[in-house]
Amino acid sequence: MDSQPEIPAFVDGDLVMLRPLVESDLTQRYLDWLNDAQVSRFLESGTFPETMDSLRAFYNAMQGSKHNVLFAIIDKATGKHIGNVKLGGINWIHRYGDLGIMVGDKAYWHKGYGREACRLLLKYAFGRLNLNKVWLGVYGNHAAAIRSYEKVGFVIEGRMSEMLNFEGAYVDKVIMAITKRQFAGRAE
- Catalytic residue selected from 30, 96, 149, 170: 149
Structural contact between residues 153 and 134, judged by C-beta atoms closer than 8 angstroms: no
Nearest C-alpha neighbor of 89 from the set 131, 50, 36, 31? 131
**96-103 and 133-139 strand pairing:** parallel
Nearest C-alpha neighbor of 128 from the set 97, 102, 105, 157? 97
| CA trace torsion 18, 90, 24, 76 (10° rounding) | 10
Q: Is 83 left (phi over 0), alpha (psi -120 to 50) or beta?
A: left
- 149 catalytic, yes or no? yes
Structural contact between residues 98 and 87, judged by C-beta atoms closer than 8 angstroms: yes
Q: Is 9 helix (H, G, I), strand (E, B) or coil?
A: coil
Nearest C-alpha neighbor of 50 from the set 29, 69, 66? 29
**Which residues are known catalytic residues?**
149
